[in-house]
Structure 1
Amino acid sequence: MLGLPDDTRAVLFDLDGVLTSTAVLHREAWKKTFEDYLGEPFTEDDYLRYVDGRPRYEGVRTYLESRGLQPAEDTVRQVGDRKNALIDQIISERGVQPYPGSVAYVEAVEAAGLPIGVVTSSANATRVLEAAGLTRFVKAQIDGLVITRENLRGKPAPDSFLAGARALGVEPAHAAVFEDAIAGAQAGHAGGFGYVVGVDRGAGEKALSEAGANIVVKDLAELL
């Protein structure tokens, strides 16, 4: 019914772009931040290649290095904090909308008795989950604050997903990962997770499959 292997014992969802439409808002905030800072266009490909799915400061560093820069740590933090302030403002003004298909799928996962974790690089996860009405489903949350506090490597390293599996008390081989970002799919594959579901919100089926997704869907409702 859930489109997962029979031995799946837990499910780990990315947040922005998988459960909620906030990835679009993050993309907008990154675009304005980098274009204001560098004075050159920040494209959709730039977002997907250098920023999407990564912890905030790592995204700043990776993108600026792609432009031939070697930013000081203070610069990385200033640019990253500017982006965070902007996304806070955008969320306050526009709110958060979960994808209906994702809500239906999460409800089905809960009904099947599988514990749910959210693994995201965002430091705003608690606020987004509450605004989307999804908090009650989540048994474990590994977000940007936890990643920083526990000194975990960000996606595409598997550390955050592995922490999510530990928090739910399951082995990675018996957990499914849901990701819309190339870096996230790579993280799920690198962590040895039993099943990686790519959710194509713009990264592309081919790119997600090459990154390690076992299956790629446009909407989670396709799996019901």
Structure 2
Amino acid sequence: MSGRPRSFPPPRGVVLDTDGVLLDSAAVHAAAWKSAFDVCLAELARDGEGWVPFDADAEYRRFVDGRSRHDGAEAFLTARGIRLPPGEPGDPPGCGTVWAVAARKEAAFREALAAEPVTAFEDAAPALAALRSRRVPCAAVSASRHARALISAAGLDKVLAAVVDGEAAARLGLAGKPDPALFLHAAGLLGIRPGDAAVVEDALAGVRAARRGGFGLVVGLDRSPDRHAAGLLYGAGADLVAPDLSTLVRTVWGERG
């Protein structure tokens, strides 16, 4: 693990993204987005020809990962030069409005969850427990409204001090990433100033949000086998890029004898 030199003590608290950091769910989200976008791209293309499928790696990271469903759909469609009316949050799945596209993704994601439950990464619970033993409280954040239930189903709620998910964001009017509102609220729940806390993110929008929020340490997590996202995470503002949470805990907080 490498990164920019650090000259401050280990953070007193940690705010972690959920999908791709704690839960092995980012690929499920990406596949659901691809299902939704590809249908709409084909439908919106003239005569159904000449359209380019959604890239579930590069375009997912750049436009969708870490954002709310509406914001992710809007960002990708805008990047492809497609302007749809916003519609309403209750729009049924379809391709006529941004909310309809978002609803199509939600339907695909729910179908995937019904077929196979999401699990936590093997290092998640041990790393959170290690931080807890060091009296470093942790909070999980997510733009997804499913996050709290999935975190609980994976048993991680027992080693987390707080969870801020999409339901909480909607209820409290918290802006989505790359706005730092989710992270700042989570740090507040931990009772820790942003400058004394770390954020751990796998999404570019999340890294940018943490940097804008003034967090003392911004960690990019790149779980890809070839670490191909590391450069992008550094470019977005990460101080360090780690391959997993266990490595991060050992490097920043030290071994425990």
Q: TM bucket by the smaller chain?
A: over 0.9
Q: Which runs of 5+ in 2 are unaligned?
A: 1-5, 43-51, 88-96, 251-257
* Structure with bigger gyration radius: 2
Alignment of 1:112-131 (within 5 A): 112-131=134-153
Who is 2:230 aligned against?
A: 205
Who is 1:111 aligned against?
A: 133
Alignment of 1:65-80 (within 5 A): 65-74=78-87, 75-80=97-102
Does the CA contact (< 8 Å) of 2:128 and 2:160 recur in 1?
A: no
Who is 1:169 aligned against?
A: 191
Task: Tell which deviates more after alignment, 125-134 or 144-153.
Answer: 144-153
Who is 1:178 aligned against?
A: 200
Secondary structure of the residue that 1:209 maps to in structure 2? helix
How far 1:92 sits from its partner (Å)? 2.1
Runs ≥4 residues deviating over 2 A: 4-7
Q: How many residues align?
A: 221
- For 2:135 and 2:40, how far apart are their aligned partners in 1? 47
Who is 1:37 aligned against?
A: 40
Q: CA RMSD in A?
A: 1.5
Alignment of 1:1-224 (within 5 A): 6-39=9-42, 40-43=52-55, 44-74=57-87, 75-202=97-224, 204-223=229-248, 224=250
Secondary structure of the residue that 1:188 maps to in structure 2? helix
Larger relative helix fraction: 1
The two structures have a TM-score, normalised by structure 2, of 0.82
Secondary structure of the residue that 1:100 maps to in structure 2? coil
Does the CA contact (< 8 Å) of 1:95 and 1:131 recur in 2?
A: no
- For 1:9 and 1:90, how far apart are their aligned partners in 2? 37
How far 1:180 sits from its partner (Å)? 0.3
Residue type at the aligned position of 2:114: S
How far 1:31 sits from its partner (Å)? 0.5
Residue type at the aligned position of 2:235: E
Does the CA contact (< 8 Å) of 2:125 and 2:159 recur in 1?
A: no
Q: Which runs of 5+ in 1 are unaligned?
A: none
Does the CA contact (< 8 Å) of 1:173 and 1:194 recur in 2?
A: yes
Secondary structure of the residue that 1:8 maps to in structure 2? coil
Secondary structure of the residue that 2:123 maps to in structure 1? helix
- For 1:201 and 1:57, how far apart are their aligned partners in 2? 26
Does the CA contact (< 8 Å) of 1:123 and 1:145 recur in 2?
A: yes
How far 1:7 sits from its partner (Å)? 4.7
Secondary structure of the residue that 1:73 maps to in structure 2? coil
Of all paired residues, the percent bearing the same amino acid is 38
